[in-house]
Amino acid sequence: MLNNDIIDSPLADDELMAAIDIGSNSFHLAIARLDHGEVRKVVSMSEKVQLAAGLDEHNILSAAAEKRGLECLSRFVARLDSVSASRIRVVATNALRQAKNANDFIKRANEILPNPIEIISGREEARLIYLGVSHTNASSDKRLVIDIGGGSTEFIIGQGFDPILTESLQMGCVAFTKKFFADGQINKENFNRAIVAARKEVLAINGQYQKTGWSSVVGSSGTIKAVRNVLVSKGWSDEQERVTYQGVKKLEKLLIKIGDVNDIELEGVKEHRKAVFPAGVAVLRATMKVLGIETIVYSDGALREGVMYDMLGRLASEDVRDRSVLALIKRYSVDKKQARQVVRTSRHLFKQVKDDLQLTNDDADVLRRAAYLHEIGLAISHSSYHKHSAYLLEYSDIPGFSQVDQKRMAQLMLNHRRKLKSDMLEQTCSIGGDDLVYLCLLLRLAVLAHHSRSEYDLPDMRLVITDTNRWQITVSTDKKHYAFLFSDLYVEIEQFAKWGVQLSVMEATVSA
């Protein structure tokens, strides 16, 4: 039902793709080529930026942290000359989720990057991490995946390539370093405080995760990689070189004995990780204790790999976003017949004006998905249902969608019916520019065309753009089941004018 008829071709073997992960501790760049359906990394770069360390008590990102981040991204972009912009994704995680002035950084970063930054939710981050792990470490087991990042820790139970349960908790090696090891001292008191705080977070999800169950545990990210390397070098891992709970306890004692982050000289702990290493160990120890985990296998695949496999799915028209739309349609009992009619008409109008308005295939996808979902708010109330639809789309955890994706969809929901407000024009432009404004107006026309919910074929509608602010729609009114369509469209002239668009409505001449 949701297949798009305008899609890119899948990647050919040896074609390059890339992912940039703007993490709370480090920024990562991975460039890979497609090899018989598998993503093979050919370039991997990582830099310690510590965005999360640049957040003050009011979650304002410092100018120094912004500068570090922008300089790192500039170096990454210099390595991307051989990768098509359409094969690059840039995702940001917890630090930019938390930063109140994230838009300032994003605006400056987007001037450097080939594609805009996607801030992803914690659960979307977890989904992508699982995708990366499941493709890197193939298994049919029901697995628990743990990824300790700089600002948050993700927990995913999944089987095969499908996540079953996802969660993101507000604890990470940079955030916990600021709270419990800010002076660089490592002692029993600091460790205990960090462990207690982490246990409290994990206990909140323990019941649900234990009920779902798992047969093996996989760890990803720099913290678990560094812990594994230390345990292997000390002989504290098991015979399969897995992280063990007993080994982590020994590592905690060793770090307390060392006493200062500057004195950490352990094989497998890189210079840039020393300062945040004790906090990461505390989070891991608390997690293993609460969840009753004895051993963890390390996976080199994580968020970056997941982003690339997700991109590969989109290019092959196996887009998780469309599965999410189907799930929302089912969950909120959407009138599928009405949704399909609005989708068809919105697509018809879009094709007529795409070139004149310089709209893209991505814009077509946004409009199509919004057309399917514009009535989900009816599940809450008929009164102001467009506002309920907008709220659900902006604030739900929807697999595959970034926060910007969801905000764009929410704007379409807010403005597809009732009066257009002048102040909403500025808000819509700030979120998606002129393109989003045009999509809102196209959806309004498509929804209005099916206001009667008639089962009969819609009269022919022709939309012509004489310039971006002059639209002319011509409609045949010979069909009695759409007797009021012409007058309804005429009323829209005043609404379009509020957003600076001169709409003219013409009646088509019907031949005898």
Sign of the Cα torsion 321, 323, 329, 335 reads: positive
Which H or E run contains 167? Answer: strand 162-169
CATH class of the domain comprising 138-298 = alpha beta
Q: For position 443, what pLDDT does the model report?
A: 97
* 16-120 under CATH 1.20.1080.10, yes or no: no
Q: For position 467, what pLDDT does the model report?
A: 85
Give Cα 457 distance to the centre of its chain: 38
Render pLDDT for 332-373 as a digit per residue (tens, 0 to 9).
999 999 999 999 999 999 999 999 999 999 999 999 999 999
Q: Rounded distance, CA 290 to CA 149, Å? A: 19
CATH topology for 319-454 is Hypothetical protein af1432 (1.10.3210)
Q: Rounded distance, CA 235 to CA 44, Å? A: 29
- What are the extents of the domains in the chain? 16-120, 138-298, 319-454
CA nearest neighbour of 302 among 472, 477, 139, 147: 147
Q: For position 508, what pLDDT does the model report?
A: 76
262-299 burial by CB neighbour count: b if 16+ within 10 A, else e? eebebeebeeebbbbbbbbbbbbbbbbbbbebebbbbb
Q: What are φ and ψ of residue 33, in 5° steps?
A: -120, 155
Q: How many CB atoms lie within 10 A of CB 392?
A: 22
Give Cα 199 distance to the centre of its chain: 27
Sign of the Cα torsion 243, 244, 248, 250 reads: negative
How is residue 252 written in tokens? 């905690």
Q: Rounded distance, CA 30 to CA 394, Å? A: 30
Q: Rounded distance, CA 19 to CA 354, Å? A: 29
CA nearest neighbour of 398 among 331, 312, 316, 343: 331
Q: Rounded distance, CA 15 to CA 9, Å? A: 12
How is residue 268 written in tokens? 């497998």
Residue 81 CB partners (closer than 8 Å, separation 6+): none
Low-confidence ranges of the chain (pLDDT < 50): 1, 3-9, 512
Q: For position 481, what pLDDT does the model report?
A: 56
CA nearest neighbour of 347 among 329, 323, 371: 371
Q: For position 6, what pLDDT does the model report?
A: 34
Per-residue CA distances from 500 to 239, 350, 437, 438, 504 (Å) = 70, 19, 10, 11, 13
138-298 and 319-454: identical CATH topology: no
How is residue 259 written in tokens? 């006493």
Report percent pLDDT > 70 for the chain.
95
